[in-house]
Structure 1
Amino acid sequence: MENQSSVKILSEWDIVAARQLGRNIAKELGFGTVDQARITTAISELARNIYLYAGQGEIQFEPVNEFEKRGLKVTAVDHGPGIQDIRRAMEDGFSTSGGLGAGLPGVKRLMDEFDLITSLGEGTTIQVVKWLRDRRFG
């Protein structure tokens, strides 16, 4: 597997492609089915946000190794309008698209690390990481 893979988000079909690629990479890295589902759900939310709010962008996948930990880093990048009120966007139930609003707070709960950088008029980058659990320790 190459070091980094990505899917450009230009249509709703690209959301499906990003989910599938993310699940395949997670599986290759040794994630169990529950964590694969968590990662896939997070990718789906991030890709859908790009599609709905920015129109286009990219989901990038990168295996990461840090000390004794291995995991998967997922980065969502767009050059859309940016997030006007980050605090509000991170509230459960908040949605500007009429969706369920599980969005960003849901992504943060599903993953182990969550980092959001946004600039009004320039776009948003969200980086999340899921670490492999050491099977010896549960």
Structure 2
Amino acid sequence: MEDQSIDTLALEHQVCFALSVASRSVVAAYRPVLEPLGLTHPQYLVMLALWENSPLSVKDLSSLLQLDPGTLSPLIKRLEASGYVERKRKPEDERTLAIAPTERGRLLRRDAEQVPVEMVRRLGMSREELSLLHQLMSRLTAAARATR
């Protein structure tokens, strides 16, 4: 029997609210860690994707990061202006731009290796807890996408 005293529309019971607040809070916690690297959180995500899968087309990077190309293009331009990435036409298809880290961008990876370590410390959660949270968030994302 369901407890009738619980207000299912109360803000504190909304998963969407908890996720929204958590997202803003975690991104804000990253800010002082990423500032010395000259990166914003979205730029950090782009660099992570490129360090792992370079070179990538804008379309592939957009798909990997689950960002609209219109949102991604200004991020790439700022990273390019910072000297961290370069855009080149793919030799096999001149219509496609390939994004890849520059030498400076590849060197940045060494400094960025401390970001996850520092974030574990700042968030005060174990790697195991964060791994479980990641698994649950991935399941939640997949379930939400399945409803579209």
Q: TM-score, normalised by structure 2?
A: 0.27
Larger Rg: 2
Q: TM-score, normalised by structure 1?
A: 0.28
Higher relative contact order, chain-length normalized (CA < 8 Å, sep 6+): 1
